[in-house]
Amino acid sequence: MAAATAITVCHNVISPASIQKTLQIFCDRLGNELTRDASLKALTQIALNSQKREQIDTPLIPLQNLN
């Protein structure tokens, strides 16, 4: 959740490569039963923030690029 908060708050300072690495870690954690719930909550937080920004400007991160 801390990583998701950092991405949503500091996305303009963090490099796109770092954001992509973090998203890949979230995707990897979705495969583990113990970490799936926390990963889903974090990805949901990022997605909700992206939705809010679409109305104003551009999305926070390109969620369509997730595998």
Name the residue ranges covered by the structural domains of the chain: 19-59
pLDDT of residue 20: 86
At 56, the pLDDT band (50, 70, 90 cuts) reads: low
Task: Please write the tens of the pLDDT for every residue from 9-54.
Answer: 888 788 888 888 988 899 899 999 999 999 999 988 888 876 555 5
- Report in angstroms the alpha-carbon separations of 67 from 3, 9, 12, 24, 52: 19, 24, 23, 9, 23
Does residue 63 contact residue 50 with C-beta atoms inside 8 Å? yes
Question: Left (φ > 0), alpha (ψ -120 to 50) or beta: where does 8 sit?
Answer: alpha
